[in-house]
Structure 1
């Protein structure tokens, strides 16, 4: 097992070139945010925006439009029931699906649409509701994606993998990941007090940052957004994922020095400053 340390940030976070534009830093599409869970998709959106994604679009229930644009005017909006969503999917680099989406038939239709539209040039991050849906039917995993990143907490992983939490050993998790992704295009970010990250090549990594103040609703939604932002601009690879996980928790540790509880939105707000400190030529 490899410990993830601060070195991953200087390895991944690069100084931006003067002659660049927003398209150089990736196009991210987030899908989620039902009538009752708009906050989840907004927090995921802030994670993607604050971690540096060049263009961010959000497909959610229309009831969330005003709140989304009041909070994050940088994000583009699309009604998730619009036929335009299926046309947009192949045009982006990274898709984050699940925060606040819900597990009803409509959520299943979203995943089925992704199965049909996603391409091998794209990265898909499945979180929250999307994980609960694939737990009921593994055929809902869009296997055609170039890379699929699962971001469950331990109970969500229990539902997906059928491994009870005490039996979620490294070897069992790697075996399940291999079964889920026969094309070796999967990464598992298993969230816990010491998050473990697994890839299809059999590598295991342990995050060394994080604190109990981060046990707050929306923390995972924010992390999904940060991973999406990093993959979009720094590349669809394990290092980008590791750097996103480490930075997210590092921001939480800094906030926890003076706060009993760490709000996910405070983590997102701190990211641009931290990334500036670690940028490399």
Structure 2
């Protein structure tokens, strides 16, 4: 009988507290007026993963506040994003206490995004024989799906593998960055090629097999404007693909023994939930 693989959950920390904040739009607060919507959503997500999925190892990964190597490549990368809302910022210490209450490890690395740390660890862990699950709702991370690496979206309670990537992008995980490079990504201010949306980018990659092949074939395309834009903005497309590509050699230490899941500190969690008045969590 083949022994069951050790499971490692890599949790997109900032992705989830932002999504929780925007998903729970009704104003939640305790009797002292402290906002609690992001903490509450984050708590529900952690509970779903830790109780329902029971991972052997788990790590929460955050973005660093410093600019990254992508800003050096493209000054306008994420330039349009507003600063963190004040009523979210005040909830972050409670999220830190929540993570501490679950006795989970959390990491970040100056100059790198959570995606890059997750990608680097996922590749290494899969090679070491772990069953890696990335907990995220970020479509960009679909490029990381590979043998031994899947995505779990707690918001949709859905596991994502190569089949779901093909349904979303019209191509396998290895071509996700090609599609994103052509279509751009407004959430990250990645420009892409003007006039090329998701539908066109999917069709081009499906027909020609990748960005370089698309750009090479542009000269012979019948659609005049598409042809002109692919030729004129070829370098912008290549830059956009680079910006959308997750780095797999980030300087992050692979130390799974530190990420081993023990039991939560129920007293700490109870104290936190009482302070925030999360009656359903008590």
Normalising by structure 1, we get a TM-score of: 0.31
More strand as a share of residues: 1
Structure with higher Rg: it is 2
Normalising by structure 2, we get a TM-score of: 0.30
